[in-house]
Amino acid sequence: MGFKNTLRFLAFLCFRICFFVSIDAQVPIPPKLDGFWYENRPSEADSIFIEAFFDPVCPDSRDSWPGLKQALHHYGSRVTLLVHTFPLPYHDNAFVSSRALHIVNKLNSSATYDLLEAFFQHQFFTSSMWFRHGYFFAFFCGYFAFSCFGWLSLASGI
């Protein structure tokens, strides 16, 4: 009898927790946009607003960047761009390079896109498929960290 009463009590407790406890899973809207404005010009009322989600070490992001940049230069002030970093979990060094972009943006916001283009230009050395075998992986992870901080200091001007 004791086991049945305990089981009933646990079932009742689970029912009370599930149906009478308020769970708030909504994330509040941030006070400002978390991306990087292209050429430091925020969106205006009469311009087209483009938001792009880029992974700095993703080949698809790298391939889409020249066309997007060409369109921005062609349409000029009629188009504004806000780039958000979106590090994908299957790209090595994606999170580190995304954090580096945020750091540069805080130090010198005019150098953010220079660093992004440096990541795209040197992406062969940061890609995960190039150095997957053996000791090369550990060596080039260190190389990437060293290079990343070099690009960071060059782009931010420190």
Per-residue pLDDT tens digits of the chain, which is 158 residues long: 566 677 677 667 666 666 665 666 666 766 777 888 888 777 777 888 889 999 988 889 999 999 999 999 998 888 888 999 988 888 878 888 888 888 888 888 888 888 888 888 877 655 545 444 444 444 455 555 556 666 556 655 65
CATH number of domain containing 58: 3.40.30.10
CA–CA separation, 101 vs 107, rounded Å?
A: 10
Residue 13: predicted pLDDT: 61
Residue 64: predicted pLDDT: 92
Please give the sequence-ordered ranges of beta strands (E in DSSP) within the chain, or none if there are none: 36-37, 48-54, 79-85
- 5 occurs within a structural domain: no
Domain containing 81 equals: 34-156
CA–CA separation, 101 vs 109, rounded Å?
A: 9
- 29 occurs within a structural domain: no
Burial 13-26 (b: 16+ CB within 10 A, else e): eeeeeeeeeeeeee
